[in-house]
Structure 1
Amino acid sequence: MIGSVANMLAHVKNCSKARKVLIYIPYSKFKFNLLLAFERYGFVKRVSLLRYSTNRSEILIELAYNGYYNMIQDIVQVSKPGQRIYWKKKQLRVKHQIGTYFLSTSNGIKTNLDSTCVGGEVICNLV
């Protein structure tokens, strides 16, 4: 599961650096929810689901730009298949963290900026 998320994050990062506007990636429920969280925090302009048949679907991502500048400067995958990283609620509020961390919690995908986040597996960091 994390391997396909890593591929998606690398694809979004590379397309952002290349100043592409639209990206198509294979559908999975976890990737779709993660991209909806990116959209909620303004890193992505629009996310939509394209269903071709009952077995084949894709996610269409429209990247957000502020004038000439990308809203996504860098994406760093924190949890990897060989080493999972989990944070408790105390670790979310550390002041020296730069960027927005996205966590997979029992209540869905949350960020370190979310007041309702109680901790979970750290998926990625967006700057």
Structure 2
Amino acid sequence: MTDPISDFLTRLRNASKARLDECIAPHSMLKENVASILKTEGYVADYSNGTDAQGHKTLVVKMKYVDGAPAITGLKRVSTPGRRLYYRYTEIPRVLNGLGIGILSTSKGLMKDADCRRNKAGGELICNVW
């Protein structure tokens, strides 16, 4: 697998469209931090760590639905392994005029776009969620 973050985002997108209760993905700290941001912003209900049948660590994300509709209506990977996109804090694009969030990898850790502007930290734009 060349892009595990893209795989994780695709699993989340597919689980929300299929209206599954939970989404299971291989664990990594970056994926856990993305799930943490999605939880604090209200896009997923909860996340936890688990293990699969072979003993590998997994990340279990409980999906959130509002009146039967998925809380995640759109999820797009922006920076890819073949095309990294870095932004200064003044140049970070707004997602749907502020209705969505962008997740950035900065020198201060993973942050949403509003926090990057507030803390004056730029970085690599990982994905947009709305």
Answer yes or no: same fold by TM over 0.5.
yes
Provide structure 2 residue ranges, at least 5 long, that are not aligned to the other structure: none
Residues 100-119 of structure 1 mapped to structure 2, 5 A cutoff: 100-114=101-115, 115-116=118-119, 118-119=121-122
Look up the match of 2:95: 97
- Count residues with an aligned counterpart: 124
Residues 1-127 of structure 1 mapped to structure 2, 5 A cutoff: 3-51=3-51, 56-92=56-92, 97-98=95-96, 99-114=100-115, 115-116=118-119, 118-127=121-130
Provide structure 1 residue ranges, at least 5 long, that are not aligned to the other structure: none
- With normalisation by structure 1, the TM-score equals 0.89
Deviations 1:47-76, CA, capped at 9 Å, x for gaps: 1011469x6211110011111121100111
Q: Which residue identity is paired with 1:48? A: S
Query: Which runs of structure 1 show a deviation greater than 3 angstroms over 4 or more consecutive aligned residues?
Result: none
| 2:95/2:128 contact within 8 Å kept | no
Identity level (%): 28
- 1:122–1:2 distance in 2 versus 1, CA, 3 Å: farther
- With normalisation by structure 2, the TM-score equals 0.87
| 1:2/1:80 contact within 8 Å kept | no
| 1:75/1:124 contact within 8 Å kept | yes
